[in-house]
């Protein structure tokens, strides 16, 4: 099974067989959820609550890395931290069917946070602080963030293919070089002596307000990184984004002190995310789900907009610095 068509054999019968291999009995209701890197389905269960089945993209994470993610979530759940942990059957949370790892978790019903709600931003800061406090030791199996290397590799992959129009490649290379140079200067000025365990992708869609409490979902990208990585994604372009930042940090510091020097790294992580997103789409473009979901990726208009976004990263550099 090639990585480009990793889920080509994941048809309904296979999905249900996998779920039922855990001992549950499905009622044959399957509803696909919005996920592209992995495949995620809502599965109806006879005489029981609906579950969420997550099938991991083969060759992305090792079995040891996934198990470390699961162990972290189960420990957080034991500590009453509001996360959604995988379900355990006979002492196991990770299973394999037809060569694909999968897990099951309870279905959570609720709403995502409101982008500009300051009260909610304070609560999100509290939740992230609580998660970081309980994940008090770095991961031993997961990756560690390396912004300069990740930006460089992502740009290299983009330039090596023909999705980016040839006439735009010199402009792209020049813009990337500027952002990498700016990032290198920031990192040379400050980088923590030790990285910490973080969620790694704590955007609004990975948070759910359930029974009056926010829950952090989907630890698929958990890694060793910097605390501000789990904070800056909640800052939107409003009249006063610094107030948003202040609310997040105040909530965070209810559990842990926040190193203000990390604010100078927001521009680095913002630029890295923009660059890596385009590289991710390109890398997965042979997956039919990506072609269907992102048909505009192969257009010149997409790349012009991408260049504009990269330029904005440069123009807005320093917006959140101390």
- Examine residue 41 and state whether it is found in any structural domain, yes or no: yes
Overall domain count for the chain: 2
Catalytic pick among 13, 162, 181, 218: 218
Judge contact between 18 and 98, C-beta under 8 A. yes
How far is C-alpha 55 from the chain's CA centre?
16
Tell me what pLDDT residue 3 has.
45
Q: What's the chain's Rg over C-alpha atoms?
A: 20
Instruction: Give this prediction's pTM.
Output: 0.93
Question: Residues at the annotated binding site?
Answer: 206, 218
Catalytic-residue membership of 116: no
pLDDT of residue 1: 38
Write down which residue in 46, 75, 106 finishes a domain: 106
pLDDT in tens, 163-174: 999 999 999 999
Contact partners, residue 169, CB within 8 Å, separation at least 6: 159
Residues 79 and 186 in one domain: no
Is 130 in the same domain as 249? yes
Residue 227 domain boundaries: 118-315
Pair 192, 271 in one domain = yes
pLDDT score for 76:
98
Known catalytic residue at 201: yes
Statement to judge: residues 40 and 84 lie in one domain? yes
Can you give the pLDDT at residue 34?
86
Q: Which of 17, 47, 181, 201 is catalytic?
A: 201
| Residue 111 counted as domain residue | no
Same domain, 176 and 90: no
CA distance readout (Å), 38 to 34, 117, 157, 218: 10, 30, 21, 11
184-203 pLDDT tens trace: 999 999 999 999 999 999 99
Q: Which residues of the chain have pLDDT under 50?
A: 1-4
Q: In this structure, are 155 and 251 located in the same domain?
A: yes
Give the per-residue pLDDT at 5. 66
Last residue of a domain, one of 44, 77, 106: 106
Give me the CATH number covering residue 238. Answer: 3.90.1200.10
79: three-class secondary structure by DSSP: coil
Residue with tokens 């993209």: 57
pLDDT at 4: 46
Annotated binding site for Mg(2+): 206, 218
């Amino acid at each position: 099974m090639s990585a480009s068509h990793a889920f080509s054999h994941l048809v309904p019968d296979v999905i249900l067989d996998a779920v039922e291999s855990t001992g549950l009995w499905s009622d044959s209701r399957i509803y696909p959820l919005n996920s592209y890197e992995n495949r995620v389905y809502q599965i109806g269960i006879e005489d029981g609550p609906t579950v969420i089945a997550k099938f991991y993209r083969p060759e992305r994470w090792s079995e040891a890395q996934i198990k470390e993610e699961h162990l972290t979530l189960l420990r957080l759940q034991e500590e009453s931290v509001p996360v959604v942990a995988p379900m355990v059957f006979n002492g196991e949370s990770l299973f394999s069917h037809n060569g694909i790892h999968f897990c099951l978790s309870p279905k959570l019903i609720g709403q995502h946070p409101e982008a500009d709600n300051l009260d909610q931003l304070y609560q999100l800061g509290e939740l992230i602080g609580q998660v970081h406090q309980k994940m008090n030791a770095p991961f031993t199996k997961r990756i560690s963030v390396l912004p300069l290397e990740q930006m460089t590799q992502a740009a290299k992959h983009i330039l090596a293919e023909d999705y980016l129009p040839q006439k735009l490649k010199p402009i792209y290379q020049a813009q990337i070089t500027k952002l990498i140079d700016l990032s290198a200067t920031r990192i040379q000025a400050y980088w923590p002596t030790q990285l910490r365990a973080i969620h790694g992708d704590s955007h609004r869609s990975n948070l759910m307000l359930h029974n009056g409490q926010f829950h952090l979902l989907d630890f698929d990208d958990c890694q060793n990184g910097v605390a501000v990585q789990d904070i800056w994604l909640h800052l939107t372009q409003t009249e006063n984004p610094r107030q948003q930042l202040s609310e997040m940090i105040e909530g965070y510091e209810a559990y842990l002190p926040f190193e203000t020097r990390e604010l100078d790294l927001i521009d680095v992580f913002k630029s890295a995310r923009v660059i890596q997103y385009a590289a991710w789409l390109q890398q997965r473009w042979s997956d039919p789900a990506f072609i269907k979901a992102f048909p505009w990726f192969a257009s010149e208009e997409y790349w012009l907009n991408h260049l504009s976004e990269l330029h904005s990263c440069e123009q807005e550099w320093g917006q959140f610095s101390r």
